Structure 1
Amino acid sequence: MHEGSFYDAKWRSAGDYRPSIVAYYYKQWDDFHMGFHAHEATEFMYVISGVCSVETKRETIAMRKGDLVMLDAGVPHKLRVERGSPCRMLNVEFTFKPCGAVFPSFKQLADGDPALARMLERQLDTIVLRDSADVQPILKSLVLELDMGGAGAGREAMTNLLISQLLIRVARLTGEDAKDGAERQIHRYVRTAVEYIHQYYDCDIQAKDIAAAVNLHPVYLQRIFKANMSVSITEYLTELRMERAKMLLAGTDVPIIEIADYIGLNSRQYFSMLFKKITGLSPAAYRKSQASIQYYSDENVQIVDIPQ
């Protein structure tokens, strides 16, 4: 293992370390044939447009628009772009540095996300994600922050959050790709359905609308959703709506008569009945109970005079 490897256990055990960007750049290549070389940092190579190939000592990776490759520090590789077929790429290189006052640490990320922990256990020196549209917005935000975020702790904190998000997303997508093709596709259908529900729960959506967004027959989506999530689409949507209702009741002053509209239920009476069925309290009683909890919490705060 290379001394600066992404998988080196010292980043998670010998104090608090965090990922740190050391280089990033856009580049359009054409008729380019790079010799084998290696970096001291871990590298992301994202294809914005065109085609190219990234070759390591063990494999040649054909890449096209939307593909991402992650190369561990010290991995020899070379880039090949044919004449007349330009390839535009975004490259981001990172290593690790002490956290200082900026968190989360890499250890906290690995301890808190099972997918990242599993990826670290596998120690893949090369990770390839095909058509990884999920990571492009994070990469774009990361580079914009590096370019325009100014200097100081605020910029460091934001870039740390963004690269942490990127690593977790890559880890989760890598975990999906470890499954066989059929299982991987089913998982993506279900994930897309869940994302749709979280974006549109405030609207009058039904299972058929979610299925149309995923381009699947409603009956088939219902079956694979239940198998993967252990609840039906309707049950998942209802649970999400009730969680959002509890948040609005406890944390905002939105009138109770309007909350049904905020969570995609047309009937206020139905909302009240459903909320009480699930929580055991009416919306008004729930808001009052949460206000009481906050009141007693505030009452328990004691101010102590310190002798001069």
Structure 2
Amino acid sequence: MSSIFFTEDAYVMISAFYAISIPEFHMHTHTHGSCEIMYVTGGSCDVQCQGEDIHLRQNQFIFIDAQVPHKLSVLEGHPCAILNIEFQRCKEEGMIDLSLLQKNSEDFQKFCKQNSPFLVSQDLRSLGYALKDLITFLQKESTQKDYLASILFQRMLLELAYCVNENKQCTGMYYLRKACSYIEENLCETLKVPEIAAYTGINKSYLQLLFSRFLHCTIIDYVNQKRMERAVFYLTNSTSSITDIAFAIGYNSRQHFAHTFEKHYQMSPLKYRKLHSRTLVPDTGETQYVLEKEKMVKEIYLGREH
């Protein structure tokens, strides 16, 4: 018996399944020799895999590979409806044969290269319906050696592979955009990687991987880059003091800000301001000029009774 990613075993055996609404449940951490899919059709639940906490909502699912430590929790007062199936690769002929699926489906081939202990995704197409049809058939027929069982199971695997493959890119960009927005909105605060990751909803290692893969920098490098961009804007478009700018973009001292700025631009903030400042001091006295049809036609003195 082995992992779904161990493609040398051409057959699959279904070991358990259920479709149930759970009012409250707290499972001890355990492992088993089967792969498992938990799909939430209503409510929400919490799953812990290898020490990582995952919150699943309606139409979300988790795939857990064989021998991966995990547990399920459903809070009292927050019932959860779940479709669940457990299965394992094996060498036994006569069980569900995956050889043609492995040979002909690019989605399934790509999925099998994931080799991840667990995968979380939104249902992006029809995984929920595929699971429901498979479980309904198994419940009525009580056999997996039927040809229709094989077709339904392979359909379920195709939907699983599609969701995981598509969601990996989409979800990664979603989390990355969420983290970047949070950083930009909170530049004036003390930003810490664990807090950014917590807000984003993923662990800090995965978030750092997203920054490295798509932005080619660390999270802290990105924070500093955005602070420097904002500093440049303030230096060239305002008359705020260097100290005020430092505090406005999240530095707790003028010295720290100046040191970081000089590393980025090879000059001090003050020198940069002198070279690039575009600030103007508008002064029309007490006069407001009124334009009509793109032509100035009269002037009004502010404060005059109308």
TM-score by length of 1: 0.51
Residue of structure 1 equivalent to 2:153: 163
- Aligned-partner residue type, residue 89 of structure 1: I
Aligned residues between the structures: 174
Matched residue SS, 1:37: coil
Residue of structure 1 equivalent to 2:116: 124
Matched residue SS, 2:149: helix
What is the distance in 2 between the residues matched to 1:89 and 1:182? 25
From 151, 165, 168, the equivalent of 1:178 is 168
Structure 1 residues 152 and 94: CA distance shift in structure 2, 3 A: closer
CA contact (8 A) 2:32 2:66 kept: yes
Matched residue SS, 2:45: strand
- Aligned-partner residue type, residue 35 of structure 1: H
Which is helix-richer, 1 or 2?
1
Is 2:6 the partner of 1:8?
yes
- Aligned-partner residue type, residue 117 of structure 2: D
Residue of structure 2 equivalent to 1:252: none
Is 2:70 the partner of 1:77?
yes
- 1:184-203 mapped onto 2 (5 Å cutoff): none
What is the distance in 2 between the residues matched to 1:183 and 1:77? 27
Residue of structure 2 equivalent to 1:271: none
From 82, 89, 97, the equivalent of 2:82 is 89
Gaps of 5+ in 2: 175-306
- State the shift of 1:111 in Å: 1.7
What is the distance in 2 between the residues matched to 1:28 and 1:101? 33
- Aligned-partner residue type, residue 137 of structure 2: E
Matched residue SS, 1:178: helix
What is the distance in 2 between the residues matched to 1:5 and 1:31? 30
- State the shift of 1:100 in Å: 3.7
- Aligned-partner residue type, residue 84 of structure 2: N
- Aligned-partner residue type, residue 158 of structure 1: L
Structure 1 residues 9 and 28: CA distance shift in structure 2, 3 A: same
From 56, 61, 71, the equivalent of 2:54 is 61
Identity of aligned residues (%): 26
Q: CA offsets, 1:262-305, max 9 Å, x none?
A: xxxxxxxxxxxxxxxxxxxxxxxxxxxxxxxxxxxxxxxxxxxx
- State the shift of 1:27 in Å: 2.9
- State the shift of 1:124 in Å: 1.6
Structure 1 residues 37 and 18: CA distance shift in structure 2, 3 A: same
- State the shift of 1:32 in Å: 2.0
Matched residue SS, 1:70: strand
- State the shift of 1:99 in Å: 6.2
Q: CA offsets, 1:147-194, max 9 Å, x none?
A: 2236585xx21111111111111112211112245989xxxxxxxxxx
What is the distance in 2 between the residues matched to 1:101 and 1:56? 32
What is the distance in 2 between the residues matched to 1:160 and 1:96? 14
CA contact (8 A) 2:138 2:144 kept: no
What is the distance in 1 between the residues matched to 2:153 and 2:48? 25
Which is strand-richer, 1 or 2?
2
- Aligned-partner residue type, residue 70 of structure 1: F
CA contact (8 A) 2:43 2:78 kept: yes
What's the Cα RMSD here?
2.5
Residue of structure 2 equivalent to 1:276: none
Structure 1 residues 99 and 164: CA distance shift in structure 2, 3 A: farther
- Aligned-partner residue type, residue 76 of structure 2: R
What is the distance in 1 between the residues matched to 2:45 and 2:131? 19
TM-score by length of 2: 0.52
- Aligned-partner residue type, residue 110 of structure 1: Q
From 124, 128, 142, the equivalent of 2:134 is 142
Matched residue SS, 2:113: helix
- Aligned-partner residue type, residue 63 of structure 2: M
- 1:1-308 mapped onto 2 (5 Å cutoff): 4-11=2-9, 17-98=10-91, 100=93, 105-132=97-124, 134-149=126-141, 156-180=146-170
Residue of structure 1 equivalent to 2:300: none
Matched residue SS, 2:126: coil
Structure 1 residues 53 and 152: CA distance shift in structure 2, 3 A: closer
CA contact (8 A) 2:22 2:79 kept: yes
What is the distance in 1 between the residues matched to 2:71 and 2:128? 23
